Amino acid sequence: MPETFFFAPKGPFYLNDLSNETSDKNSKLKISDIKTLDRATKKDITFFNSIDYESHAKKTKAAACVTTKNLEQYLPEECIKILVKNVLFSTAKISKKFYPDSDLDYPDKSLVDSKKISSKFSSVTFGKNIFIGKKVKIGSKTSIGANSVIEHDVQIGKNCLIGFNVTIKNSIIGNNVVIQDGCKIGVKGFGFIPVKDKNFRFPHIGRVILEDNVELGANCTIDRGSIGDTVIGENTFLDNQVHMAHNVKLGKNTYLDNQVHMAHNVKIGSNCLIAGQVGFAGSSTIGNNVSIGGQAGISGHLTIGNNVKIGGGSGVVKDIEDNQVVMGYPAIPFKEFIKNWKK
């Protein structure tokens, strides 16, 4: 069964229509789409801007890749290297070429009142004033509360409970999922590339994936991925007013208390416990079995190991190895923190 995607690319385009940094030899190569390193095929272009994705770069099947002089060595020999100074800016411009309407959330013109199509969903319970887009799939025994909107091509599994005033777009939702009142799922995230006089908006063409048995508290906002996906693993629970930015990945059996914020590309492992108002800056990676106390802050591009405990109110500004317990601002080993506190 083919995967569901919510934006259809324009094109194909010749490679020299996408970038000026190509040789005459490759200029007329036809490119069908832009995809992540791991999803790209021989007809696609991709991008590689961080050594963190070395393993994907080595295995990519992409026809061409936007990257830098320092990173080109990790790509397959047959992959055409497009060398630039600013990979994300170049990628954003190419993505905009394929998906010119993806940088804003335009109203879904296919929406109809659920009363008009309720016969298609005989085992689904609808509240009042619900609107459903074309090609939506909803599993049996799912209930959807009043004033909710389910946009085109969204897939919702069996036995789900969706509250009042919920908006779902660009999303695939598993079975036994609970989405409380006021949640917004699959909306465009906060993505800009700073360039000279103004910022260039990065198109967001990805999806949100909620695996089985996920629960979202009231008024959570889950942004769709930019080119990849935003994913919440099975049996994971989010309390009220949690925000997940684009491309965040949450593992299985992880619990987030109220008002936690995860910036772009954050990865949090399985069996973690995150207390209220914790903030994660972009592109940090959190291991498995990690506990973080309330109002702690995690700086960007850090790696927090497995079985780590971080005290409430701590400020983490450097990597933490496995099995460490830290606290303070900046966070230091807990025993050292207590020793200093007693002085």
User: Is 4's pLDDT higher than 80?
Assistant: no
Cα–Cα distance, 205 to 13 (Å, whole number): 18
What is the average pLDDT score of the chain?
94
pLDDT of residue 24: 66
| Domain 13-98: top CATH class | alpha beta
Q: Which residue in the list 204, 246, 264, 301 is annotated as catalytic?
A: 264
User: Is 1's pLDDT higher than 50?
Assistant: no
User: Which whole number is the average pLDDT over 317-321?
Assistant: 97
pLDDT of residue 175: 98
CATH 3.40.1390.10 maps onto the chain at: 13-98
User: Which whole number is the average pLDDT over 232-256?
Assistant: 98
User: Which whole number is the average pLDDT over 131-157?
Assistant: 97
Question: Considering only CA atoms, which of 263, 190, 202, 259 is closest in space to residue 227?
Answer: 202
User: Is 168's pLDDT higher than 60?
Assistant: yes
User: Which whole number is the average pLDDT over 1-30?
Assistant: 82
Whole-number percent of the chain with pLDDT over 70 = 99
Amino acid present at 240: N
Report CA dihedral (57, 58, 62, 64) to the nearest 10 degrees. Answer: 70
User: Is 241's pLDDT higher than 90?
Assistant: yes
- Active site annotation includes 264: yes
The pLDDT tens digits of the residues spanning 99-112 come to 998 877 888 999 99
Residue 134: band (very low, low, confident or very high) from pLDDT cuts 50, 70, 90: very high
Dihedral sign for Cα 156, 244, 52, 98, please.
positive
User: Is 2's pLDDT higher than 60?
Assistant: no
Q: What is the pTM of this model?
A: 0.92
User: Is 143's pLDDT higher than 50?
Assistant: yes
pLDDT of residue 343: 67
Pick from 15-19, 62-66, 131-135, 304-308: least confident: 15-19
User: Is 209's pLDDT higher than 60?
Assistant: yes
pLDDT of residue 339: 86
Tell the CATH topology of 112-342. UDP N-Acetylglucosamine Acyltransferase; domain 1 (2.160.10)
| Tokens of residue 252, six digits | 């299985």
Residue 200: band (very low, low, confident or very high) from pLDDT cuts 50, 70, 90: confident
CATH 2.160.10.10 maps onto the chain at: 112-342
pLDDT of residue 122: 85
User: Is 237's pLDDT higher than 60?
Assistant: yes
pLDDT of residue 304: 98
Over the range 252-284, which residues count as b (16 or more CB within 10 Å of their CB) and which as e? bbbbbbbbbbbbbbbbbbbbbebbbbbbbbbbb
